[in-house]
């Protein structure tokens, strides 16, 4: 299924050195380099020139394991890798590998849709990020009620 948010996205696998077509694609065709080797991670810098912390890498590696059509919570991620739910949210807010690292699949412990690109809820800042996250997850088969709370948690809530 194509998404208007992630079209034609490719990933450059460090080991294979060839682009890998991602599952949900429809943004603009571009390659994302996601370092897997520690030497590559040591020299990797974001577009703003910042080095990623070991905690950020752990969050991104964990988020990559969340299956399409499932969500987990910031608390579940922090329990699995260490840190706090807030530190997980901070790492995901600054995710330079979106959508390859599917930060949209992480929600609040009370099963509220949570944040997306630094916006929390439909009344925060522009409110458009809330709608984007709802739309992306809906395309993946994860649905929320009008108040932004997860429906069918027993079917779509994923635990590591």
pLDDT in tens, 129-157: 888 899 999 999 999 999 999 999 999 99
How many structural domains is the chain composed of? 1
Share of the chain above pLDDT 90, in %: 61
> In this structure, what CATH number is given to the domain that contains residue 61?
1.10.10.10
Of 121 and 50, more confident: 50
| Top-confidence residue, 42 or 31 | 42
Q: Please give the mean pLDDT across all residues of the chain.
A: 81
The range of the structural domain enclosing residue 75 comes to 48-154
In a domain, 28, yes or no: no
Per the domain annotation, does 147 fall within a domain? yes
Please give the pLDDT value at position 12. 42
* 85 part of a folded domain: yes
Residue 14 included in any domain? no
Contact 114, 107 (CB under 8 A): yes
Is residue 68 assigned to a domain?
yes
Please name the residues in contact with 123: beta carbons below 8 A apart, sequence gap of 6 or more.
none
Q: Is residue 43 part of a domain?
A: no
Calculate the alpha carbon distances from 115 to 11, 57, 71 in Å: 25, 19, 13
- Examine residue 9 and state whether it is found in any structural domain, yes or no: no
Contacts of residue 67, defined as CB under 8 A and 6 or more positions apart, other chains included, come to: 158
This prediction has a pTM of 0.78
pLDDT score recorded for residue 125: 67
pLDDT of 114 higher than 60: yes
Residue 1 forms part of a structural domain: no
Q: When comparing pLDDT for 61 and 33, which is higher?
A: 61
pLDDT of residue 11: 41
């Amino acid at each position: 299924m194509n998404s208007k948010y992630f079209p034609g996205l490719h990933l450059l696998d460090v080991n294979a050195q060839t682009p890998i077509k991602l599952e949900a694609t429809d943004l603009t065709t571009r390659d994302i380099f996601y370092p897997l080797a520690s030497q590559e991670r040591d020299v990797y810098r974001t577009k703003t020139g910042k080095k990623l912390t070991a905690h950020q890498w752990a969050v991104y590696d964990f988020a990559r394991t969340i299956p399409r059509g499932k969500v987990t919570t910031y608390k579940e991620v922090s329990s699995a890798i260490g840190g706090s739910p807030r530190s997980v949210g901070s790492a995901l807010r600054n995710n330079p590998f979106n959508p390859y690292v599917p930060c949209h699949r992480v929600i609040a412990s009370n099963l509220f849709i949570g944040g997306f690109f630094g916006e929390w809820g439909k009344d925060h800042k522009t409110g458009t990020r809330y709608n984007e996250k709802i739309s992306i997850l809906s395309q993946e088969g994860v649905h929320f009620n009008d108040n932004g709370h997860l429906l069918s948690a027993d079917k779509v809530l994923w635990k590591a």
